[in-house]
Each structure stands twice: as C-alpha cells, then as structure tokens.
Amino acid sequence: MNRIVIGSNSNDTNDLIKDELVMRIDKDTNVLIEDSPVKKIVFDVEDASVNILIIRNKNEAVMYDVNVNKGNVSFNNISYDSNNVTINVNLNQERSNILLNNSVVTNKEVAYDINVNHNAMETNSNVCNNGVTKKDGTIKFNVSSYAPKGSKDCNINQDSKIITLNKTNNNEIKPILLIDEFETEAKHAAFIGNFKASELFYLQSRGLTNKQAKNLLINGMLIGNLDVCFNEKETLKKRLNEEWR
C-alpha cells in the first residue's frame, strides 16, 4: 500500500506545499498530514481505498475537499486547540463511501462545518464528531448531508457528541438532513453534556480516581473511534495526555 506523509514529519513534500494542494489518488493509499501549513487540501479519489489521518495543533483555519469517484475513504481528523475547519465531501459515483471521524479537544472557540453531498445512487456516509471542551472552550458542529432526487439506496448517518468539562459554554450541534429521495435512509444523533455518572462510578469502583476515569473516557471517545492502526492510536493517546491535560 502506498504511503504519503505531509507536514512536520515529512522530508520531500514540504517544498511543494502552497496555499492549495490537490492530491489525485488512484491506488490504495495511507495519508498522514501533520501540522501542514497549506490552507486547502483537495483529495480526488479514483476507485481506491484511502485512509487519511490529519493531526492539527493550533493551525490556521483550513478547508478539505474530498471527492470520491468510486472508492472507500476513511477520513480521520484530530485537532488540539486548532482553528476553524471546513470539510466538503462529494460522493460522485455509485458505491462511493466515506467514513469521517472528527475528534476535537479545545480550550477556545472553534467551529467545524461538514458538508456531505450524495451525488450518486448507492453511496454511503458515516460522520462521527466527538469533542471535549475545557476552560474557555466552545465547539460548534455544523453537519449537513444532502441527497438529491434520484440518489436512491443511499445510507446517511450523523453522530455528534460534545463533552463539556467547563462550567459555562455555548456548544452547538446543528445536524441538517436535506433528503429529496424517498428510497434513501438517513438518521442523526446529537448529545451535549458531561459523562454519565454511572460510567464514572463504574470505573471508580474498579479502583480508578475520578480524574483517571475521565481521562480514560476522553481517550476512548477521541482516539478509540479513529480508524487508524494500534501504534498510531497509542501515539495519539500520549500526545493527548502530554499536551492537553
């Protein structure tokens, strides 16, 4: 499988990066993007399976366009105190699929605008947003999924959760389903609040402190859901523990 690395850990690609980067991918590929200075990245996927992991630390606002022309894309984004992000997904041919895992942890106000367009029949999208706010943190998840007339047999799912560890916040989740086709299934779920007392009690009954229990739940929510390998998850967990809490 091909591998592409862009950003702080790459050697050859940094000199090629401008304000906009277009990546045309027609073979099974793993993509790692870490703290890239590029402001817009376009992924054009042609009949391939692509796994994308984006790690963002205090970057400027950025936009990602993902155009899937038949294929399977796993798009994983984890942000630590980064600025606003826009993600546009276009499923352009039959049997095009997107799994979008978005994990956000922040001490400031950030907004994530995610738009998924089902432009063909038999396309599938699963958008999973998980956020944690602390101190002055506020997260706004704006998620729109669109299925026009004729886009039959599509499956559309949105699932967004924000855990608030600060006393006051203006967290928002706006799930929007624009469905103009009867033969398509669409659903969404949204939650804003704190961890369930029963979850914390169960973990504390096993010998963990309250802080350890919350840390375990945060790691599971932000890292465990990502579609990446075990080693990458362990690295992300260490960074989350060292840099944020």
Tokens of 245: 């809490």
Q: Could you write out the DSSP letters of every residue in 44-93?
A: EEEEEEEEEEEEEESPPPEEEEEEEEEEEEEEEEEEES---EEEEEEE-S
Q: What does the radius of gyration of the chain's CA atoms come to, in whole angstroms?
A: 18
- Residue 32 confidence (pLDDT): 94
- Which has the minimum average pLDDT: 15-29, 104-118, 220-234? 15-29
Residues above pLDDT 70, as percent of the chain: 94
Phi, psi of 242 (to 5 degrees): -85, -40
Higher pLDDT residue, 34 or 112?
Answer: 112
Residue 16 has pLDDT above 80, yes or no: no
pTM: 0.92
pLDDT, tens digit, 9 for 90 and up, residues 184-197: 999 999 999 999 89
Contact yes or no for 42/14 (Cβ under 8 A): no
Closest among 244, 224, 32, 36 to 130, alpha carbons compared: 224
Which span out of 53-57, 65-69, 214-218 was modeled with the highest average pLDDT?
65-69
pLDDT, tens digit, 9 for 90 and up, residues 96-155: 999 999 999 999 999 999 999 999 999 999 999 999 998 889 999 999 999 999 999 999
